[in-house]
Structure 1
């Protein structure tokens, strides 16, 4: 029998006809063409969670005021908006939680879904009525909300917090871009930038506040900051490896080229002479701030608490500080900020100083030419990011540069690093005015590590505790040689109890954990790796998909920012749900009162499926992409021969 004959049986023909009729009815329901939407169904509980999170932020009435302030007062009358602000925000978050792209078409399909329940309509902030007849009429009006009504409302929300809006329907010449920028009011640009910072911080930090209190208390305030490139959809001009097209400009004026050098680890068979071409991506830098520190991923989740987008390589320090200001405004704990060289090498005014002013510490890396002596103050020496006494040997000052130059082995380097720690200044307290830090000389105070012949310093004569103590031997201290004492004695060597070092001195290089110490190696590398790993998770097309250009088919900084914030919110909510499931799995089973051994079923083993300065620069000026020059190294106090 021919297998094709079975497919022509009357029963199958009738079944296929009935199925086709049902599919045709479903396709024409609502009388609209939704060919670009996914058609996925968002459950009511997702709308419920999204509505509660959005309401908890308190941003809905704030954004409504922003949108109203953008209206032209000279244009009176006209029909009111058919789509509430809350509806756009809740639908965007629901799409992110459900893993759907919040494009105009998808948002329109969600808002006008013919099968939406009354509960979902209420969660979305759409009008409902207890009168069945009136409710049916309201529901019909909702189903016929136009695509452009959704797009216009989304645009109005984004525009209310976009510092620099440009025409999005065509590419602009350089002269036209300069003309538009010259007509802007700097105060309005700063105000909208502040709005965007407020929106990003409030939306993201609210998800952190949803965690149980004991989970939030496990986090001590440590964060990791990094930037990852997010490409944009489409641009004018042919594909090219050139960083700048001279013939025309993209209508996405605030975006720019991101250059990624080839990874030497990718060379074939260790052939370092083989060099791949630099990869260029046209888009934005998404600066991300993630929770980190002891217990991340176990006692508390890794979540995005800050996001700021800008041109690649433009003002990374100020974007990082903007995110930290959001944490500061919400009175969250202040810990160490781990960053790469893209942030730590910036001028102090653009990163380190405002970061210190907010009360945060640093965990950083250095370039090879920045190792060794980095600053000095009143005899104190800042070496490899840590303040040391004036008696530090030149050999120990040059320890890291000598190791990088191959003059000493790693074993020698580690041994001498441990020896150098005895010369570190002892932290006492922050000064009363908050502008400096009080330190004690390594030969001062209880538990000091050095003996020094200078007045008011520990002496080598005492090797045991005073009479009346428990008789335990005192800690063995190292003696300072006379040739180590500076010829010109400054405040560190003459003060009786403490020396105050201004925070601004050496602020670009100072960090709380001594460089290359065991504590530093357990902190810097793992946290940078966690950040890089989470960047890949956020870009994964099966997760947040922040790099999927088809999910952000918009023009303008404001719309790109809005889309990325909701994607980060969706990732945060998924992280919270994963932690809550994990906490539930850790709960101990109730003991069996009958005394018989507890049994498990196969179902138990079944796995579930799976106000800053204006930093939005517009078109980069010539030379603006360069990095700040390294300041001249500080001098070194005179020493005895």
Structure 2
């Protein structure tokens, strides 16, 4: 596996415009031919203004994968009757315990096993994409009952499909059914719920695999470059000069050296030119590690 390297850096005050600073780095990487993929960061990034981070990165082709602050959990936005719950569009009649699952977990009203079941139980209520987003980012989304994932009395032709599909229980509305419940599909604009929308269902297996892998890579790279016996970027004494421009240049040299150190160590584990590797890779045991028994859906406690 290739080592995770630092490809860009901008220096600013702590917490100062992380979105706009991150966007400038991604723009330079794009100019150099790097292809977009999944993208994550700490909670400061998805707390940016959508026009400074969330919408531009999606326009560039990145797929955001976010975690949320405690006050951003549950229902986050609404469009045409559909509700955005922790980054994903769902049927407006999704049961309240499923909407508040992560809120209740943080408040210790449910345990992690129950939370995992509730996260999985959200899936049949998710709006399904009918087609890929168009050139402007608008996407046709299908009601879950119309997509064959649920049954809804507002759409009688979806009933009688079997007890394996949940039966939606819409609340009576004097104004009549909302648009997503009247139509087979609705168009979701890119601005709708842009602050919190993400590519995968929050807490699901795919989300966990991508989010924790990317976040661990970031934190691991930070820790690697902070090694006091190597670059020690956390120590201000290693850059004894004033001015953000000078500090940025020195930090860039330190990170470049950390990259070089990591690449050399990686190359030493490879058999090149018919020679044996200079360094042995980590011994991989044939027995199962303790992590294999981690409960599905496990998340680190909220800070």
Give the structure-2-normalised TM-score: 0.80
Aligned residues of 1:444 and 1:456 also touching (Cα < 8 A): no
Q: CA deviation at 1:477?
A: 2.4
Deviations 1:75-129 (A, max 9, x none): xxxxxxxxxxxxxxxxxxxxxxxxxxxxxxxxxxxxxxxxxxxxxxxxxxxxxxx
Change (3 A) 1:454 1:605: closer
SS at match of 2:14: coil
Q: In the alignment, which of 510, 515, 528 is matched to residue 215 of structure 2?
A: 528
The aligned residue for residue 477 of structure 1 is: 165
The aligned residue for residue 307 of structure 1 is: 9
The aligned residue for residue 452 of structure 1 is: 152
The answer to whether structure 1 residue 442 and structure 2 residue 144 are counterparts is yes
The aligned residue for residue 597 of structure 1 is: none
Q: CA deviation at 1:330?
A: 2.6
The answer to whether structure 1 residue 385 and structure 2 residue 72 are counterparts is no
1:145-544 → structure 2 map (5 Å cutoff): 298=1, 300-445=2-147, 448-455=148-155, 458-461=158-161, 476-481=164-169, 483-484=170-171, 488-496=176-184, 498-544=185-231
Q: What is the alpha-carbon distance in structure 1 between the residues aligned to residue 242 and residue 232 of structure 2?
A: 18
SS at match of 2:8: strand
Q: What is the alpha-carbon distance in structure 1 between the residues aligned to residue 237 and residue 27 of structure 2?
A: 32
Aligned residues of 1:449 and 1:476 also touching (Cα < 8 A): no
Q: How many residues align?
A: 279
Change (3 A) 1:411 1:485: farther
Deviations 1:146-175 (A, max 9, x none): xxxxxxxxxxxxxxxxxxxxxxxxxxxxxx
Gaps of 5+ in 2: 281-303
Aligned residues of 2:5 and 2:221 also touching (Cα < 8 A): no
The aligned residue for residue 556 of structure 1 is: 243
Change (3 A) 1:491 1:302: same
The aligned residue for residue 254 of structure 2 is: 567
Q: CA deviation at 1:457?
A: 5.6
Q: What is the alpha-carbon distance in structure 1 between the residues aligned to residue 246 and residue 28 of structure 2?
A: 20
Query: Which structure has the larger Rg over C-alpha atoms?
Result: 1
Question: Cα RMSD (Å) of the superposition?
Answer: 2.8
Deviations 1:331-358 (A, max 9, x none): 3221222111222222223322222232
Aligned residues of 1:423 and 1:442 also touching (Cα < 8 A): yes
Change (3 A) 1:396 1:485: farther
Q: What is the alpha-carbon distance in structure 1 between the residues aligned to residue 181 and residue 30 of structure 2?
A: 37
Aligned residues of 1:390 and 1:486 also touching (Cα < 8 A): no
Q: CA deviation at 1:527?
A: 3.0
Gaps of 5+ in 1: 1-297, 464-474, 590-603, 609-641
Q: CA deviation at 1:441?
A: 1.1
Change (3 A) 1:322 1:606: closer
SS at match of 1:438: strand
Q: What is the alpha-carbon distance in structure 2 between the residues aligned to residue 494 and residue 520 of structure 1?
A: 31
Greater RCO (CA < 8 Å, at least 6 residues apart)? 2
Q: What is the alpha-carbon distance in structure 2 between the residues aligned to residue 393 and residue 342 of structure 1?
A: 30
The aligned residue for residue 267 of structure 2 is: 580
Q: CA deviation at 1:607?
A: 5.3
Which structure carries more helix by proportion? Answer: 1
Q: CA deviation at 1:415?
A: 1.4
